[in-house]
Structure 1
Amino acid sequence: MDRGGCKLMFTTRNLDVLEKMGSTNNFQMGVLEEEEAWNLFRKMAGDVIQTHELNSLPNDVCKECAGLPIVICTIAKALKNKSHPSDWKAALRELRAPSPTKFIGFLEKEYMKMALSYNYLRDEELKKTFLISSLMENNTSISDLFKHVVCLDILEGANLTMEDARDRLNKLVCDLKDASLLLDGFRSEQFAMHDAIRAVAITIAYVDHHVFTSKNDIEREWKDKDKLKKCTKISLHGSSTIISQLQPKDLDCPALEYFYMSSCYLKIPEEFFRVMPKLKVLNLVQLHRSSLPSSLHLLKNLQTLCLDDSTIYDVAIIEKLKKLKVLSLKHSFIKELPEEMGQLTELKLLDLSNCKQLQVIVPNVISKLLQLEEFHIKGCPIQWKVDILKELKLLSNLSSVELDVRDNKVLPKNLFSKELKRYKISIGDFWKIFGEYGELEHYGEHELLRMLEVQFNSIKSLEELHGFKNVDLLQLTEFSEDENYVENSNFDLQSNEIMPLFKENV
């Protein structure tokens, strides 16, 4: 199946096999039979296995992969263009090598083979993406992963636009799925990872890159000051209580670049971020407090801040984070976008989706965010004014917008200064009938990148559509004064859906 220009092969088959594999040391089940393993290896390695000089080396390498699809796919693809016997002999030696001391007691022989498949990934960009993906929960969207990696010097290419960086990440995720190190999620734009693969990844991340998770022993490792001083990333999920067991002075992490913590019901001390000078990415999901810790302003190098699903009301302190490029406040409790936000002149992505109490955008804030490339503010009950909407036209770098304008009378002409690459825009009172989940975000198996919903009451409002190009899905509906009546809308009252008038690009 072709997705985004890259082919995902064996995904269903690998998922069936991997589901049989447990995350315990009893890892002998669920491997491929010898003939099936060879067929997979031959398909992944290609014609190079017919090279006369290689003799039996391809067969020997395949056998040492022990029937594990993850290892077969990665090793075979790494050797695909290697016709010299020395490359194949080196791979064979590594596959036959005993597990290094650092894995004894945790990884059995088969686990080490999976670690080797990581080593055979073609470059550091893929390896770093794989390791950061292992810190995410299953069925995380690639869009959320993007927020974690875009400011971590993972994606190669100088001065990538946000659009280019997204395309780059999509390709890397495809490659990792192709190598069976990632799996498909429930939806096409999500990914997952088998428990056994995650265990290997987290171990590699800890040993080679000083990444701390809840798997680390609290007494032996978290309270070892020398180890924490080398720590580059911290990732804590769910009900982890590690932070509450540490004193603020224990978190002396001068090398820390990435901090993630979900379900933040724990009290975070005001001085919590005092000794994290290199922190670039901070993600505090479900942070439950009215304001942010005062030490946040000390994070002078912070480039990504995510506070999704948080009860934060006061975000004014964020103005001090002058290097911030990504700010996500999805599903948060903020009531207005304050004047202070205009200080974030380096901001490239602002996500305020589904902030149910956000009603006010202060004038002259949006217009100051001149570097903004992505603006997501769909699902918010904002009382838009014409002058505020006109500020969008001043953002010459804007390429991706998600927006609701419930009063089409305030819609100015030529809303944007250039053609958008991605958009999901609703004009009119769609929310009254369909609510938060009424929009059709997916058509078939593909995520819709350009979607326009319009409630029109006159020809004049339709004339405003000329600025939108290459629409993937256009939904047009006319409402009468009677909210229960819908005319000429393709609206099916039985299924409670608006059906698209156009299935092809228009």
Structure 2
Amino acid sequence: MEFVGPIFEVLKYIGGQIKSYTDHHRKLEGNVNNLKRKLDELNVRKQDLESRMEAEIRNGKRIKNEVENWFEDVQKKNTEVGTIEEKFWDVSYFSRAHLGKLVCQKIEEVQRIYQQGNFPEGVAVDGPPASGVTLPMPNLEGEIDVKERIWEYLMGDEIGMIGVCGMGGIGKTTIMKHINNQLLKESEHFEKVIWVTVSKELNIFQLQEDIADSFKQSLPRGKLERATALKDILEGKRYVLILDDVWKRFSLLDVGIPEPTLSKERKMVLTSRSIEVCKSMGCEVVKVQPLSKEESMNLFLDHVGHSVLQNQNLEDIIGKIVEQCGGLPLAIVTIAGSMKGVDDLCEWRNALNELCERVKSVKGLDTEIFEHLKFSYDRLGDSKIQNCFLYCSLYPEDYVIEKVELIESWIDEGLLDGLGTRQAMHDRGHSILNKLENNCLLERAQDYFALGRFSESVKMHDVLRDMALYIVRNGHQYMVKAGMQLKEVQSEHEWTVDLEKVSLMKIISVYLKIPPHMSPQCPQLSTLLLQENRGLTSIPESFFKHMPGLKVLNLSSTGIKALPNSISNCKNLNALTLASCFRLEYVPSLAELRALRKLDLYETAIQKVPHGIELLENLTYLRVWSRFPKELPVGILPMLSHLQYLIVNKHLRGEEVGKLRKLEILECSFCNIQEFEEYAKSIQGKWPTNFYFQVGASELSLSQYSAVPSLKQFQNGVAFVNCDMVKIDHIHVPNGLSGLGTEKSDDFNCLSNIPFFHKVTELKSCDIWECEGIDCVVDLSLSSLNALHNMEELRLVNLGNLSEIVRVGSVAVESKSYALAIFSSLKGLHLNYCSKIKKLFPVELLQGLQNLENIELYSCWKMEEIIASGEEENHGEGAIILPKLKELVLINLPALKSICGGGAMIRSLQDLQIFNCPKLKRIPLALPLLENGQPSPPPSLRHINVWSSEWWESLEWDHPQAKHVLSRFLNK
């Protein structure tokens, strides 16, 4: 009987295994669908985190490594689930259970990653506490008395809350920018200066967020909790809060802003066009008056150029033109910008006559201002340039518009037609932007986008936006609600039959709804902008039924799951943008949309390529990026012979792509080297201007750009994955190839062994990932590799056998100096998970690294020295090495003992990060000495992020005061 128990347990185990096998087999379809849903939720969280990251980066924070790793995990899971999807359609009966088990594992992994993506303590590492942000500003002409009065109130003990009032364009914001920067520079009374632009549509949630961000703090989601949490953050702090462009009265208590104090603790300044708003909030009112005649003339001449007065006949006319501006700085600057470079007397007289007639013909202050500004608009002359300017009014107030995104929108609108190539259209677009900036109708801005990508941008002054809307109201029919607070789109009776353009982008609402069965009667509607409304989850089937004239539809970054079939009624549609609709699974047949020129399906969840795509013979732009479709069906691409822009993350056939003779931008993957070579043969040396290829990968794992790629930024590159690199000696080298990568190729031990590498002459960057065979990057005894002399970026990831970057070996003395300069152009070096390497650079290579700006080392467990010390060291005590090094990141290097030996120092460092380097005891920062012999911080230094206070205290310094001097840059 003693055997019964064990036998029962064995049978129980076998029974459990059989049941598990049966469940995995039987429930495969349901589990696959469940996996897809879980992955959709994960990607939505990814999108939300990207928005949080943008805000953190704008506030000077650095994204945490654990967040970056989380994004990599999400990307891997997308790829893995895509592979499972492919297997699911072809799985045999006997393999279903095995696949079902794998699906269940992936569901658990996706759920785990989803939970890890909560990041309750934030997604970024704080920089050192900053007192505020220095703002770019024009010179201040006049208003010195106003500025001094505001300053006295801030420094005094009688006024806590100040309201700066005046008409739009009078200079309120400029004055406060000067105050902001003066406070940062001169005042020791306040710990913090906080600047928030409020704008016409007051968004309490965003106002709270912006204030909290300035203190590197996050807030809870609940309304009451948020106000309480913000009040707790602000209580006890000494700050000046500047709220620019306030239109409505609001309760400080509801926001969570403590009452300002009379003493120099908490002061608040708001600017507004309304004196009533300022008074109702209890402000001491400071009114900004128009400029005097002399001040107006000085400002005008500063912008038009003082040389115009060399013509004595112009002096009287210019004086009268300036007088017409009524002392309004915005009008003066704008009109001066439009007249810059004009020296013809007749043209100046005509300008004066036009301005006089405008002012006589209108009534009302706002209208008078608009007519002054409209003078510069009219002087643009070209109706297409004018329409490019008016298009900017479709964006929300104070919105920072990425230049490339704006140019793409102009292309969609047909404003840059007739130029043939996409490059010519972008060149024309940049030319128009320059003209609008030079005429002071747009102002240059700079902004950070997803994942820290810096981009050139523009902004439209709020008064100029009002003027643009004033113009379109008189000649066009626009409905512009961009950036406003709405819970659902305008009721159907407001969608009038003569509407031409509707902008509902970036509505302030958690859930934006379109009423069910809504079907606006808008036969003239040509443009509908609904992008950046993540709360918009569905569109009624009838919505597009009566929009036959629709040409541009932008639904990017919305939460829709399906595009309604009624889109087929929009037979004149030119541009359909659905980028970053992560939940979008269904797009109806496009067979009826023969006029379509742009189709953007980037980062969607579509199950298959939309039906009828092969009939879109006018298509010039196609972007398809989804984890589900295995590949584009055979024969589709050759039908799209007008394509200029093609980005697809699936395998393409070389011969088919080669038939697209008009391609300027191409990003895709080829399943093997043979397909890539087939493509190269087909194009006969006529490579696209901008390209990126992956060869041998299952699909493109990551696009170079998550937003609209700029032609200037697009890097021409090829990445070989799972390829025998040593055997690649016959492949054509693309013209202009600047980026080369290899991944999971184990047949070479250094780049010198790769024949293809010797053919490349213009290489700017090189990536080597997961290549187990490589033990050094370049062996100088084999070859000096001319390809490396222009290289600026080198990334080495997960190379388990890499023992050195450069192997000097037995290089002949006469050629040694030339060979050691192979990295003379190198600016960035990144090593991740290279577990064998002990010394990064030999000391002999040091003289060839004079342009190195960035070193990032992660999880190189045996790394002991950055610059190896040795008998050949020629730098003495205090010698400056790596003269251009700006950023040094050292993370998880437990064996690291030295950055550089021999008493050498680094002078130009801006950012330093050191985590988990317990054996490192010296940071070789060169500290300038003052006249009294005390050290001062390096002028370039901005941030120091370190592992722990205990480690920082254990460091050894060359000067006893060094630690104290550097502490204010410290974030532990």
| Shared fold per TM-score greater than 0.5 | yes
C-alpha separation between the residues in 1 aligned to 2:424 and 2:406?
15
Match of 2:437 in 1: 177
Q: Does 1:26 align with 2:340?
A: no
Q: Does 1:260 align with 2:529?
A: yes
Match of 1:7 in 2: none
User: Residue deviations 1:394-450, cap 9 Å, x none?
Assistant: 001111123355865753344362232223445577999xx7488899xxx994244
SS at 1:300's partner residue? coil
8 Å contact 1:229–1:253 — kept in the other structure? yes
| 1:206 partner letter | R
| Number of residue pairs matched by the alignment | 466
Q: Does 1:162 align with 2:422?
A: yes
Match of 2:959 in 1: none
Q: Does 1:320 align with 2:592?
A: yes
Q: Does 1:228 align with 2:496?
A: yes
Q: Does 1:194 align with 2:461?
A: yes
User: Residue deviations 1:184-207, cap 9 Å, x none?
Assistant: 231444333233332332333333
8 Å contact 1:398–1:420 — kept in the other structure? yes
C-alpha separation between the residues in 2 aligned to 1:282 and 1:439?
22
C-alpha separation between the residues in 2 aligned to 1:460 and 1:440?
34
| 1:244 partner letter | I
Distance 1:452 1:193, change over 3 A: same
Q: CA deviation at 1:51?
A: 3.0
The equivalent position to 1:212 in structure 2, one of 463, 472, 479, is: 479
Distance 1:431 1:340, change over 3 A: closer
8 Å contact 2:562–2:586 — kept in the other structure? yes
Q: Does 1:391 align with 2:659?
A: no
User: Residue deviations 1:434-488, cap 9 Å, x none?
Assistant: x7488899xxx99424431434752554753522227486323445237720766
Q: CA deviation at 1:276?
A: 1.3
The equivalent position to 2:351 in structure 1, one of 84, 88, 95, is: 88
Match of 1:448 in 2: 713
The percentage of counterpart residues that share the same residue type is 18
SS at 2:764's partner residue? strand
Please show how residues 60-139 of structure 1 align to structure 2 within 5 Å.
Answer: 60-65=320-325, 66-69=327-330, 71-78=332-339, 80-81=341-342, 82-84=344-346, 86-94=349-357, 96-97=359-360, 99-100=362-363, 107=366, 109-136=368-395, 138-139=399-400
Distance 1:70 1:390, change over 3 A: farther
User: Residue deviations 1:70-120, cap 9 Å, x none?
Assistant: 65244443464342153132144157447446xx7xx37545533443333
The equivalent position to 1:495 in structure 2, one of 852, 856, 860, is: 856
8 Å contact 1:304–1:325 — kept in the other structure? yes
8 Å contact 2:517–2:542 — kept in the other structure? no
> Which stretches in structure 2 are left out of the alignment for 5+ residues?
1-134, 141-170, 176-243, 248-271, 275-286, 448-453, 739-761, 774-796, 807-828, 833-854, 859-972
| 1:87 partner letter | N
Match of 2:621 in 1: 349
SS at 2:716's partner residue? strand
C-alpha separation between the residues in 2 aligned to 1:296 and 1:15?
51
Q: CA deviation at 1:256?
A: 0.9
Distance 1:458 1:258, change over 3 A: same
C-alpha separation between the residues in 1 aligned to 2:767 and 2:724?
9
| 1:275 partner letter | H
Please show how residues 139-154 of structure 1 align to structure 2 within 5 Å.
Answer: 139-154=400-415
8 Å contact 1:308–1:330 — kept in the other structure? yes
C-alpha separation between the residues in 1 aligned to 2:517 and 2:547?
14
Q: Does 1:331 align with 2:594?
A: no
> Which stretches in structure 1 are left out of the alignment for 5+ residues?
1-10, 498-506
What CA RMSD, in Å, does the superposition of the two structures yield over aligned residues? Answer: 4.2
8 Å contact 2:617–2:641 — kept in the other structure? yes
Please show how residues 422-501 of structure 1 align to structure 2 within 5 Å.
Answer: 422-427=690-695, 436=702, 447-455=712-720, 458-461=725-728, 464=731, 466-469=733-736, 471=738, 474-479=764-769, 480-481=771-772, 484-485=798-799, 491-493=830-832, 495=856
Q: Does 1:41 align with 2:303?
A: yes
Distance 1:70 1:190, change over 3 A: farther
Distance 1:476 1:41, change over 3 A: closer
8 Å contact 1:114–1:200 — kept in the other structure? yes
SS at 1:61's partner residue? helix
Q: CA deviation at 1:345?
A: 1.2
User: Residue deviations 1:362-385, cap 9 Å, x none?
Assistant: 2211221111011123xx4x3x26
Q: Which has the higher contact order (CA 8 A, sep 6+)?
A: 1
Distance 1:92 1:287, change over 3 A: closer
Q: CA deviation at 1:305?
A: 0.6
C-alpha separation between the residues in 2 aligned to 1:130 and 1:397?
30
| 1:234 partner letter | V
8 Å contact 1:211–1:233 — kept in the other structure? yes
Q: CA deviation at 1:158?
A: 3.0
SS at 1:230's partner residue? coil
Q: Structure 2 length as normaliser, TM-score?
A: 0.43
User: Residue deviations 1:236-270, cap 9 Å, x none?
Assistant: 02336887369635x21111111111316254221
C-alpha separation between the residues in 2 aligned to 1:496 and 1:198?
47
The equivalent position to 1:364 in structure 2, one of 635, 642, 663, is: 635
Match of 1:6 in 2: none
Q: CA deviation at 1:334?
A: 1.9
Q: Does 1:275 align with 2:546?
A: yes
Q: CA deviation at 1:297?
A: 0.7
Q: CA deviation at 1:13?
A: 4.3
8 Å contact 1:333–1:358 — kept in the other structure? no
Q: Structure 1 length as normaliser, TM-score?
A: 0.77
C-alpha separation between the residues in 2 aligned to 1:470 and 1:95?
56
Q: CA deviation at 1:348?
A: 0.3
C-alpha separation between the residues in 2 aligned to 1:430 and 1:180?
49
Residues 133-142 or 30-39, more deviating:
30-39
Residues 231-240 or 206-215, more deviating:
206-215
SS at 2:642's partner residue? coil
SS at 1:327's partner residue? strand
Residues 193-202 or 467-476, more deviating:
467-476
Match of 2:254 in 1: none
Q: Does 1:292 align with 2:563?
A: yes
C-alpha separation between the residues in 2 aligned to 1:189 and 1:266?
31
Distance 1:244 1:208, change over 3 A: same
C-alpha separation between the residues in 1 aligned to 2:504 and 2:139?
26
User: Residue deviations 1:307-343, cap 9 Å, x none?
Assistant: 1222222224223211100111122112443563212
